[in-house]
Amino acid sequence: MSSVICDAAVGSSNINRLKAWWLYRMLKTPNPLRERLTLAWHNHFATSNIKVQDVGMMRRQNDSLREHSAGRFEYLLRSMAHDPAVLVWLDADANRKEHPNENLAREIMELFTLGVGNYSEEDIKEAARALTGWTVKQGDFLNVAKRHDAGEKTIFGQTGKWNGDDFVTLLLEHSATPRRIAFRVCELLMGESTCEDSLVEELAVGLVEHDLDIGWAIETVLRSEAFFAAGNIRNRVLSPVEFIVGLIRCLEINSPLPSTLLLAETTANLGQDLFNPPNVFGWPGGRSWLTSRAIIGRANFASALINGELHSSRTPFDAAVLAERHNVGAEKLLPQVLLGSELPTGMKPLKKEPNQLVTAVLSSPEAFLG
């Protein structure tokens, strides 16, 4: 079903339909972690269709991100270095022997692997030369030999007749790369101050021993004491996509699902427009999700969802039915499921109005955190 929707979205050339497809996938998948990882890598290799303007390319990138999301970082990085959407986004086609364009070289180091401070301006210039010749033709990666600068380059102090793939190898061997992957994994799974530097460092060392296996890093964090520590509970701001997908899954609003096109519009209004990250840095995330507009938007979304306004049938959510399904009173089920705690005193007067209570719980600051 998911692939039918996806093919139709690509066929329509309408990026909004691809957004809706991905949300459908997140809502229905038996493997939510993989979708979260895919989203995290979409943020890491932040590519925007605003410039790419090709739904098919965005879908292929999304598939690659998913395929390699929990495998060895080498496969993920190599697939992104050859990814048509990335190359269009970072002006690879403008990088020719005579006039090197440094954008891809710069961002691959700053954002995809090493991070600022681990390379010089000279490294950027030389890496740009190594990357000359890479371009996109009719939607596919193409290496144009006559545009490639075949001379010697010195990158990170190592000299050779490096080409783009050699440069990627140098990046994979660089000590800053595992640290950055470790940081990304911790950022994804841990709360904002739970993730101590020593933990990131330890994870980075382990990553080197495990051939930069992302799956290993994820598993290690998920089994760690830190992950289960009290301080890691409700210590992360949920992104709009996590908030929306999480709520719908949690409230079991799945047959029928709300309109995923409307959901895609909502995530965009709340600050996370899929396939259109705001810039090369991806979404800034964390506390910056909680702008006034987004908080009002989250509360308004909760209200619309509970009132059934996101369904074509306009059927309101029935809190009583969900509570009955789980054999608990609504006043207990909801705060426990959504907040992991007792009902705050201020909400007690709403006990007799289950749907209002749900809306209030969903609009509360506690519901924005995970």
Q: Does 30 bind other proteins (CB under 8 A)?
A: no
Which one, 293 or 325, has the nearer CB to other proteins?
293
Q: How far is 218 from 186, CA to CA, in rounded Å?
A: 8
Interface with other proteins (CB under 8 A), residue from 347, 354, 355, 358: 347
* 115 is an interface residue for other proteins by CB under 8 A: no
The b-or-e profile of 136-167 (16+ CB within 10 A means b, else e) is: beeeebbeeeebbbeeebebbeeeeebbbeeb
Binding mask 276-315 for other proteins (x = CB under 8 A): --xxxx-----xx-xxxx-xxx-xx--xx-----------
Kindly state the DSSP code that residue 137 receives in the 8-state scheme: E
> Rounded CA gap, 243 and 269, in Å?
13
| Closest distance to other proteins from the beta carbon of 198 (Å) | 20
144 binds other proteins (CB under 8 A): no
Q: Does 137 bind other proteins (CB under 8 A)?
A: no
Minimum distance, C-beta of residue 321 to other proteins, in the bound complex (Å): 23
How many residues bind to other proteins according to rule CB under 8 A?
Answer: 42
142, containing H or E segment: strand 140-143
How many other CB atoms are found less than 10 A from the CB of residue 11? 11
- Residue 124 engages other proteins in binding (rule: CB under 8 A): no
Q: Which two tokens stand for residue 262?
A: 């409307």
* Interaction of residue 350 with other proteins, rule CB under 8 A: yes
Q: How many residues does the chain have?
A: 370
H-helix or E-strand spanning residue 173? helix 164-173
Residue 313 near residue 256 (C-beta atoms within 8 A): yes
99 touches other proteins (CB under 8 A): no
SS3 content of the chain, % helix, strand, coil (to 5): 60, 5, 35
Is 234 in a helix, a strand, or coil?
A: coil
- Of 101, 224, 235, 336, the residue at the interface with other proteins (CB under 8 A) is 235
Stretch that binds other proteins, among 148-156, 163-171, 174-182, 361-369 (CB under 8 A): 361-369
Tell whether residue 139 is a contact of other proteins (CB under 8 A). no
**261 binds other proteins, rule: CB under 8 A:** no
User: Are 229 and 194 contacting, i.e. CB atoms less than 8 angstroms apart?
Assistant: yes
Query: Is 93 in contact with 52 (CB distance < 8 Å)?
Result: no
Q: What is the footprint of other proteins within residues 39-68 (CB under 8 A)?
A: 50-51, 53
Stretch that binds other proteins, among 30-38, 187-195, 217-225, 320-328 (CB under 8 A): 187-195
Q: Which residues pair with 51 in a beta bridge?
A: none
Choose which of 193, 198, 255, 327 interacts with other proteins (CB under 8 A).
193
Shortest Å distance, C-beta 284 to other proteins:
9
Q: Compute the least distance from the CB of residue 280 to other proteins, in Å.
A: 6
Interaction of residue 364 with other proteins, rule CB under 8 A: yes
Beta carbons of 132 and 144 less than 8 angstroms apart: no
> H or E segment at 159?
strand 158-160
The contact set with other proteins (CB under 8 A) reads 50-51, 53, 191-193, 234-237, 269, 278-281, 287-288, 290-293, 295-297, 299-300, 303-304, 344-347, 349-350, 356, 360, 363-366, 368-369
